Structures are given as C-alpha cells and as structure tokens.
Amino acid sequence: MIDEGAVGATRYARKDRPGREVLRQELAAIAGRVKRGEVPGGVWVNWSSSRANRKVGDMAELRELCAEFGVYWYYGGVLYDMNDPDDRKRVAQDAVEDEHAPERNRLDSMRALAQNFAEGKPHGPEAFGFQIVYQRGRAVRRVPCPQNGPIFREMARRALNMEPTYQIGVG
C-alpha cells in the first residue's frame, strides 16, 4: 500500500509525489516475480483513476509501466489490461477527465475569487481574534478584535513559550 497523504496531483501541485518512485519499484518487483514464475501476475488497485494522478502525461507513463510489467490495473470496479487496446483507450479517456475536473474547479474558484475581490468581499471567513473592517461596503483590512484579540494574543504568546497545547486551551 502506498499512501502519499495529502499531496496534490495536479500541475499546480507544489510538492513531488513521494509514492511515485515507490510505485515504479513495486511494479518492477512484481514483473520480476512474474518472470521468475513466483506469481502468475499482478494487479494495481486504485479507488478511482483520479487517485493515481491528474496529469495525462503521468497517466500515460503508468499505462506503459503496467503494460511493460504485465500488471493489471483495477479501479472503479473494473479490471483493465494495458495490453488490450480497448482498455488502454478507456484508461486514456479517464485520464483526460481526471485532468480536466480539477482544472475546471480551479478555474471556477479563481473566477469567484476575482469577482469577490472586485466586489470588496473578504476572502474567507473572519478569523478568530480578528475582525474585518469595511469602508463603503468593501472589506479593506483585518484588525485585531477588541473582544477576542487579547485572548488570541495570549494563546499565541503561550504557544510560542512552548506551553503544552492542552494547558493553553484550559487556562
């Protein structure tokens, strides 16, 4: 099992996927066991194709690795053989959709963000310890809240002094 945690898979990801090289090694190891007759074959299992990656080029590489090493690919309730042209086509179509969905979501989010900015709406909710200052109906800045600001500053001071978090929340 390869768990990469919360690492982005789109072209906007800021970190490399740590499990990528591990996957390559696992597929090669399965291929070696198949060639030696130790196992009849291998199956790579994903919850959905989008969990493997969200870049068409990377998905193409994974298809090639599965074909080269004779590993089947299972996701979404279907077992795919990357040496079958129809399965390769279906996986390629899924790869295009998997890349498109987060790109579309990002575009929609960026448009909404720009619209909110143009309308003077704040970006995100009011953070604890701060309040949003409006001028002529537009959010212009955030300032410490007179009621919660002192509490927030005290909590931050105690955290910076390395007090245990369970004590900060209690006292």
pLDDT digits (tens, 9 = 90+) for 73-124: 898 899 999 999 999 999 999 988 888 888 888 899 889 888 888 887 777 7
Which residues pair with residue 42 across a beta bridge? 71
5 within some domain: no
Q: How confident is the model at residue 17 (pLDDT cuts 50, 70, 90)?
A: low
Is 135 found in the same domain as 53? Answer: no
Instruction: Classify residue 1: in a domain, yes or no.
Output: no
List of residues 6+ apart from 104 with CB closer than 8 A: none
Angle at 100 between CA 43 and CA 59, to 5 degrees: 30
In terms of domains, do 98 and 34 share one? yes
Is it the case that residue 29 has pLDDT exceeding 70? yes
Mean pLDDT lowest among 28-32, 58-62, 88-92, 152-156: 28-32
- Indicate whether 160 pLDDT > 90: yes
- pLDDT computed for residue 80 by the predictor: 94
Q: Indicate the burial class of 149 (C-beta count within 10 angstroms; 0-12, 13-18, 19 or more).
A: middle
Q: Is 135 exposed, middle or buried (0-12, 13-18, 19+ CB in 10 A)?
A: exposed
Q: What is the pLDDT of residue 98?
A: 84
Same domain, 94 and 73: yes
What pLDDT score was predicted for residue 101?
85
**Is the model's pLDDT at 30 over the cut of 70?**
yes
* Domain containing residue 155: 130-170
Residues 101, 150 share a domain: no
Per-residue pLDDT, 87? 95
Q: Which of 118, 144, 160 is the last residue of a domain?
A: 118
Specify whether 73 is located in the same domain as 140. no
Burial of 81 (0-12, 13-18, 19+ CB in 10 A): middle
Q: How many domains does the chain have?
A: 2
**Exposure string (b/e) for 89-118, b if CB count within 10 Å is 16 or more?**
eebeebbeebbeebeeeeeeeeeeeeeeee
pLDDT band at 13 (very low <50, low <70, confident <90, very high): low
- Clarify whether residues 108 and 141 are in a common domain: no
For residues 23 and 101, state if they share a domain.
yes
Residue ending a domain, choose from 98, 118, 138 = 118
pLDDT at 116: 82
What average pLDDT is seen over the chain? 81
Q: What is the pTM of this model?
A: 0.55
Q: Is residue 6 part of a domain?
A: no
Tell which phi-psi region holds residue 54, choosing left (phi > 0), alpha (psi between -120 and 50) or beta: alpha
- Whether residues 63 and 139 share a domain: the answer is no
